[in-house]
Structure 1
Amino acid sequence: MKQRILAALLACLLLSGCAQTPVYTAEEEVNGPAVAYVPLDDRPDNVERVQYLAWSLGYDLQMPQADDYRTRLQGQPLNENGTQYGDRADLYEWVLAQEEAGCDRYILSMDQLLSGGLVNSRSMWEHESVTLSDGTTLTEPERLSALLETLARDGNNQVWLLDSVMRLAPTVGYDHWDLDGYNALRAYGMAGRPVLEGEALTVEAIEADYRLGSDGSQLSLGEFGLEEWEVEEYLSARSRKLELAGQMMETVTGDGYGNFHVLIGIDDSSEEDSIQKNEIAYLCSLLRPGDALLSGVDDLAFKAVTRLYLDEQGWDGATATVRYYGGTEDQPACAYDYKPLQEIMAEHFDFFDLQESSDGELQILVLTQPLDEAAAQNYCNSLVMDLRQCQIQGQPVIVIDAGNGRYGTQFHEMLTEQTELGGLLSYAGFLDMAIVTGTALSHGVARYARLEAGKPSDAENRAFARTLADSILKDFCYKNIVRDKLLNYIRGDLGANPDNFWQPETNRNAIRQMLEREMEECTKPVIRNLESSNMAVVPHPAPTGDRIGWGSVLLGNYRFPWDRAFEIGMDIELGAFTAQHKGIYEMYTP
C-alpha cells in the first residue's frame, strides 16, 4: 500500500510540475545498514545523488531534516533557526541521537556541523558558541571535542569526517560579498606567500604569513582594491577554519580513534604558491594512514560512501587502463584546480586502491581540454570509437568529460548517437572540473565493487540507474543547452539576476516553467538512448547475457537549489527493467 501511495503521489507531482522537494518511491528504500549522514549543504550533489549512491550499495542513508542543513543566499527566506545557514545545535543533537539509537556508521560534514554549511564557513570570521535545547552552551572547540569523544566510545563505530581547505575567496551573493569583492579577494588569496616546511608548519606561523608576499614583504591592499576590514574578515575566517581543522586532526591522532577516517577537499584553488599552500601542507602533515586530502569538495560524500563500502567488503583493489583524449592531461582541468589532471587522477587512484595497467579490469576514458582546437573533432571521434569497442567487448567503462565546455555539444551528441549511455559504469562532466575525477571514480568503483560482490537487488540497480541518468542528463542537456537559454531569458526578458531569483524579486514560476519545457525537448534523444540501453549485472558481461534492459525514464519535479540557475534538481522515475535489449546500433549482435 505504501508503495502504491508514494507512486501515485510522484505521478501527480510529475504531472503538475509544481513540487519543490524531492520525492522518491518506496522501491528506492533499502533495509541494509544505516549510515548517519550530515551533508555539506542542500544541493543535489550533497543530498539526492549521495542517497542514490548509498542506496545502490545497500545502505540506508539517514539524514536530518532539510531545514537543518539548508543554505539561503542573500535576500532569500531564512531557515527556521532565523539564519541563512544550517542549525548547528540541532545537527549536533541529531548526531548524538543517532549514536544513542545504536547507529555505527557516520559520514559527517564538519563544515556543516561547525559552520552551518560550506558557504557560511567562508564568512564566519568569529568563533560562535551554540546553545543546545537543554540550555547548555558550548564553544566550538568544546562541541567538536564532545562530538568526537562521544563517537569514539563505541569501538564498533566507523566515522568519516569530511572537511575542506577554504577556497581562495568567499561566495558571491552571500553575506555582503559581490562579484567585485570576490575577484579582489581571489586575486589577493592567489598571490604567493612564503612557503613553510617541516617544523615551521604551525597554525600560528601560517597565520603570521597570511599578509606577506612570497618575498616576505607586506602585501599592498590597494594593489588589489581591498579595504582593511574586508581583508580582516577574510583572514579571520581562514584562521577560524584552519584552527578547527587542526583541532580535529590532533584529536583523531590520539588513542581510541582508529575507527575514524578524515577526508579533506581542496576548494577553488590554483597552481600558485597561494594562501592555501601552507594550509594544505600543514593538514597533510597531520594525516594518518587511510586519511586523504584530495581535489574537490562537492564530491567528498561520494568518495566517503564508496570508501566505506570498499572497506566493509574487504576490497582488494582493481587494475585500470586510463586513456586521455585532447592532449592536455599534463595541465589542470580548469583554472580552479591545484594540480595537473594526471596528478589528480593518481591521487584518486591511491585513495580507491586502483593500479594503472595497460590491460586493466576497468577502462577509464578521459576527454581533456583540446590542445589543438582544430583537432577537437578527432579527439571526440577517438574516444567514442574506443568506448564503442569497450562496450562491444563487455568491458566496464568510466567516462570523464574534463573538457571544461571547450567542445560545445558535439561530444555529447556523439555519445548519444553512437554509444550506449546506460551501459556505462559512471559518467561525470557537470559542474566544476575539480570534482569530475572524484565523482566519476567514486561512482564507477562503487558500482564495480558492488557487481563483484554479487548480483545487486532491483532497488540497488534502480538507484544506480538514477545516479547515472542524473549525471548524464544534467551535463548533456542542462549545462550546455538549457542553462544558456535560461540565462538569456532571465537577464533579457525578465531583467533579473540568474544567480539569485530573489534579488531582485523574480517570477520564479515562469523560470521553472521554461526549465520544464526546455528540458522536456532537450532530453528526448538522451532518454531514448537510456531506454534502449542495457545495464550489466556482473563485472564483465558476455555480449548476449548478464545484462538487463533499462525501462522507461520519466523526469519531473524540477527545482532550482538556492533559487539560482547554476544547477537544477529533478526526480527520475524509472519503469520496470526488461529483458536485455538487442542493443543500440546492434552492438550486441551475436
Structure 2
Amino acid sequence: MSIRHRVHRVIYVPLDDRPCNVVHVQLLARMVDYELLIPPIEMLGRYTRPGDADAIATWMLREASAGSIDSAILSLDMLAYGGLVGSRSPDVRTETALQRLDALTELRQMLPDAAIYAHNVIMRLSITASSDDAAVHWQLLHEYSVTKGRVEALGEDSDRQRLAELETLIPLPLLSKYEACRERNHQVNRRAIDETAQGNLDYLVLAQEDAAPYGPHIQEQRHLAHLADQHRLTDRFAIHPGADELGQTLFARFVHSHMEKTPSVYVLYANPDDADNVAQFEDRPFSDTLSGQLMTVGVSTTTDPAEADFVMGINPPATGERADYQSSDMLTARQEQAREFFDMLLQTAGDKRMAICDVAFANGAEDCFARALLDQRVPLRQMLSFSAWNTAANSVGSALAHASLRLIALQDKGAFDLASLLVDLSPMRYLQLLDTLIDSETAHAGLLFSHLADDWLYQTQIRPQVTEHVVNLLRASIFDLADSSQQVQNMVSDMLTRAAADLWATHFLGKESVRIGPEDNAASVALAELEETRITLPWGRLFEVDLHFNFGMELVASS
C-alpha cells in the first residue's frame, strides 16, 4: 500500500549492473515509495561483457507503451554501447551507436508528458584496466592524454619530448582504438545534445569520467558546451565530473521536480582552504564539482545554517596523496582536525539533520575522519547520508541524492503523523501505511550502513590487506581474480562480515531511526539485530563489493 495518492513509476536504464547503479537507486526509490522499473539483470552485462543494448531498448519501449509512466532516467552509454566499460571499446561502430539513439524519438512519442532525463559519459583519459598488462597500457595512455593536453595548452618543449617518447611506447593499434573511441563517443554526445534540443530529452548531463586538468576532454567539453549554448539549453544541460552516481542524482532530481521541492543546504568544510583543491581523477576545483552536483540533484545552497533544510559536512580533497599523511605528526594533525570538525558540525547543525561526505582521498574514507564521526557520536537519527567512495564527484553526488530524498521520506512521515490525528484511519489502512514507512526506514538505514561498511571498512581497511594477499601470496591479478576468485571472495566475506557485525552492534543496534506519532503518544522506530550479511565481488575483482544486509526494525515506546 503506497503512502502516495497513486503509484509513481520510473523507467530506469542503468549505466551497468554494479550496486551503485542498481541497488543504491532501488533503495532510494523505496525510501520515497516510488516504483523503479529496471531491465532484467541479465540484459545489463557484466564487467567486460557489454549489456544487450538492443534488447534493453525493446524492453524500455515495451514498458513505456504499457502507460502510467511518470519519468524515464536513461544511461545513453548503456543504450548506445552496452554500458560504461563498453563505451571504452571500439566494438560498436559510430553508425550503430547513433542509430540506437533513434529509440529516444519513439520513447518521447509514447511518453509525451513524462520527464525524460539522460546522462552520458565524456570518455576518461585511458582504457579499462582489466588485466595487469592492460594496467600498464592504462598508465601509458593516461600519461599520453595528459601530456598531449599540456602540449596543446602550454607548448612546453619537455612535454613535446615526453609525448614523442610515449608514442613509441604505446602499441599503435591500441592508440588508434583509443582515439577512435574518443571520436565516436564525442559524436554520440553531440547527438545527445541534439536530442535534448528536439525535446526528446528534458535534461541531459554529460559527465566527465576519470580525468585531469589537461587532456583531450577539455576541448571536447568546450565544444559540447558551445553546441548546447547554440541550442539555448542553459537550464536543461550540464557538464560536470562524475559517472557512477548519475542514476542516483537524476532520480533525486526527478523526485524534487515532481514534488516541487528545492531543498537547501549549508555546506561546512573540515578545512575550507582545501575546498578549491582538484580531487584525484578530476579536472577542476572541488567547489566547482560540488556546484555541478548540486545543480543536477536540484539542491540550493544558503550561507545561513538557520535557513538550511540540512547541513552537509565535507572533508575536502587533501593536498597530496593518502600515503603522505601516514607519518605520526601528519596523522595526529589530521585526527585533531577531524575531531574539531565534528564538534563544529554538531554545534552548527543543532537539531538539523546532516549529510557527511569524505572526499579527502579517492577510493575510500579517510580512516581518522570516519572514526571521528563515530567517536563524536553524531546521532543516527540526524544522519541523512554518508559517502566516501570512488571519486569526489561520485561521493558528493550520491551523498546529496540520499540526503535530499531522506528529507522527503521524513516529510512523508510527518504527513502520516498528521493523518493519524485528523483522519479516522481503519486499523488495516493504518498498518499498511506503517509498513510503508518502516520499509522506507529500512531502505535508508540499509543504504547508510552499506556506505559505512563499503566506503570505510572495506575500501580503507580490508581491501588493502586483501590486495597484498592476492598479489604477494596468490600471485593473482587484482583486475581479474580468475581461478582465485572464490578463495578471495571467501576471504573478503569473512573479514567484512566480522567488521560489519562489530560496526552494527556498536553504532546501529538499538538506535532510534525515526520517531512516529503525536508527541503525547510517540513511538520510536529502532534498529534491531543484524540477521544476515551476504557479500560478493560482483565483477570478479577487488574494486567493488556487493553488500546485502538483512536487519530488523522494531517499534519502541518513547520515554
Give the partner amino acid of 2:83: G
Partners of 1:325 and 1:380 within 8 A in 2: no
Rounded to whole Å, the distance in 1 between the matches of 2:534 and 2:265 is: 40
Q: 2:166 maps to what in 1? A: 223
* 1:575 aligned counterpart, secondary structure: strand
**Residues 339-375 of structure 1, C-alpha deviations (whole Å, 9 max, x = no match):** 1122222233333231222323311111134568352
Do the aligned partners of residues 527 and 145 (structure 1) sit closer, same or farther apart at CA in structure 2, a change above 3 Å counting?
same
Q: CA deviation at 1:512?
A: 2.3
Q: 1:338 maps to what in 2? A: 283
Give the partner amino acid of 1:156: D
Q: CA deviation at 1:468?
A: 0.9
Q: 1:54 maps to what in 2? A: 29
Partners of 2:279 and 2:285 within 8 A in 1: yes
- Matched ranges for 1:121-270 at <5 A: 121-124=87-90, 127=93, 139-173=96-130, 178-193=134-149, 215=155, 220-224=163-167, 225-254=169-198, 256-257=199-200, 260-270=202-212
**Residues 149-179 of structure 1, C-alpha deviations (whole Å, 9 max, x = no match):** 43245322221111111001111117x9611
Rounded to whole Å, the distance in 2 between the matches of 1:561 and 1:310 is: 32
Give the partner amino acid of 2:60: V
Q: 2:420 maps to what in 1? A: none
Partners of 1:533 and 1:581 within 8 A in 2: no
**Residues 394-414 of structure 1, C-alpha deviations (whole Å, 9 max, x = no match):** 211011111217985222223
Partners of 1:387 and 1:419 within 8 A in 2: no
Q: CA deviation at 1:458?
A: 1.8
Do the aligned partners of residues 555 and 165 (structure 1) sit closer, same or farther apart at CA in structure 2, a change above 3 Å counting?
farther
Q: CA deviation at 1:384?
A: 2.3
Give the partner amino acid of 1:230: L
Rounded to whole Å, the distance in 1 between the matches of 2:488 and 2:283 is: 36
Give the partner amino acid of 1:252: T
Rounded to whole Å, the distance in 2 between the matches of 1:407 and 1:110 is: 30
Rounded to whole Å, the distance in 2 between the matches of 1:436 and 1:324 is: 16
**Residues 239-281 of structure 1, C-alpha deviations (whole Å, 9 max, x = no match):** 1111011112112202x44x62212211001122x11011112
Do the aligned partners of residues 566 and 155 (structure 1) sit closer, same or farther apart at CA in structure 2, a change above 3 Å counting?
same
Give the partner amino acid of 2:316: T
Q: TM-score, normalised by structure 2?
A: 0.83
Rounded to whole Å, the distance in 2 between the matches of 1:577 and 1:290 is: 44
The answer for unaligned runs of 5 or more in structure 2 is 320-324, 415-435
* 1:289 aligned counterpart, secondary structure: helix
Give the partner amino acid of 1:368: P
Counterpart among 443, 468, 472 of residue 402 in structure 2: 443
Give the partner amino acid of 1:124: P
Q: 1:11 maps to what in 2? A: none
Rounded to whole Å, the distance in 2 between the matches of 1:182 and 1:319 is: 38
Do the aligned partners of residues 269 and 53 (structure 1) sit closer, same or farther apart at CA in structure 2, a change above 3 Å counting?
same
Match status 1:120 vs 2:86? yes
Q: Work out the number of aligned pairs and report it.
A: 509
Do the aligned partners of residues 215 and 537 (structure 1) sit closer, same or farther apart at CA in structure 2, a change above 3 Å counting?
farther
Rounded to whole Å, the distance in 2 between the matches of 1:71 and 1:214 is: 40
Q: 1:328 maps to what in 2? A: 274
Percent identity (aligned):
19
Q: 1:348 maps to what in 2? A: 293
Do the aligned partners of residues 322 and 580 (structure 1) sit closer, same or farther apart at CA in structure 2, a change above 3 Å counting?
farther
Q: 2:525 maps to what in 1? A: 548
**Residues 366-389 of structure 1, C-alpha deviations (whole Å, 9 max, x = no match):** 113456835212211112223444
Do the aligned partners of residues 187 and 536 (structure 1) sit closer, same or farther apart at CA in structure 2, a change above 3 Å counting?
same
Give the partner amino acid of 1:70: G
- Matched ranges for 1:283-322 at <5 A: 283-285=224-226, 286=228, 287-322=233-268
Partners of 1:325 and 1:382 within 8 A in 2: no
Do the aligned partners of residues 407 and 500 (structure 1) sit closer, same or farther apart at CA in structure 2, a change above 3 Å counting?
closer
Q: 2:18 maps to what in 1? A: 43
Q: 1:105 maps to what in 2? A: 71
Q: 2:425 maps to what in 1? A: none
* 2:213 aligned counterpart, secondary structure: coil
Do the aligned partners of residues 177 and 316 (structure 1) sit closer, same or farther apart at CA in structure 2, a change above 3 Å counting?
same
Q: CA deviation at 1:236?
A: 0.6
Match status 1:457 vs 2:437? yes
Partners of 1:111 and 1:164 within 8 A in 2: yes
Partners of 2:61 and 2:106 within 8 A in 1: no
Q: Which moved more, 1:440-449 or 1:295-304?
A: 440-449
**Residues 73-128 of structure 1, C-alpha deviations (whole Å, 9 max, x = no match):** 4xxxxxxxxxx211112111111111121134211111111101101101126516
Q: TM-score, normalised by structure 1?
A: 0.79
Rounded to whole Å, the distance in 2 between the matches of 1:101 and 1:465 is: 33
Partners of 2:208 and 2:240 within 8 A in 1: yes
Partners of 2:462 and 2:496 within 8 A in 1: yes
Do the aligned partners of residues 191 and 445 (structure 1) sit closer, same or farther apart at CA in structure 2, a change above 3 Å counting?
same
Partners of 1:365 and 1:399 within 8 A in 2: yes
Partners of 1:420 and 1:533 within 8 A in 2: no
Q: Which moved more, 1:40-49 or 1:373-382?
A: 373-382
* 2:266 aligned counterpart, secondary structure: strand
Give the partner amino acid of 2:402: H
Do the aligned partners of residues 248 and 232 (structure 1) sit closer, same or farther apart at CA in structure 2, a change above 3 Å counting?
same
Give the partner amino acid of 1:316: T
Partners of 2:530 and 2:549 within 8 A in 1: yes
Counterpart among 406, 417, 426 of residue 375 in structure 2: 417
Do the aligned partners of residues 511 and 238 (structure 1) sit closer, same or farther apart at CA in structure 2, a change above 3 Å counting?
same
Counterpart among 512, 516, 526 of residue 489 in structure 2: 512
Give the partner amino acid of 2:407: Y
Give the partner amino acid of 2:124: R
Give the partner amino acid of 1:481: Q
Q: Which moved more, 1:61-70 or 1:551-560?
A: 551-560
Q: CA deviation at 1:193?
A: 4.1
Partners of 2:189 and 2:206 within 8 A in 1: no
Counterpart among 194, 200, 220 of residue 279 in structure 1: 220
Do the aligned partners of residues 546 and 184 (structure 1) sit closer, same or farther apart at CA in structure 2, a change above 3 Å counting?
farther
Which structure dedicates a bigger proportion of its chain to helix? Answer: 2
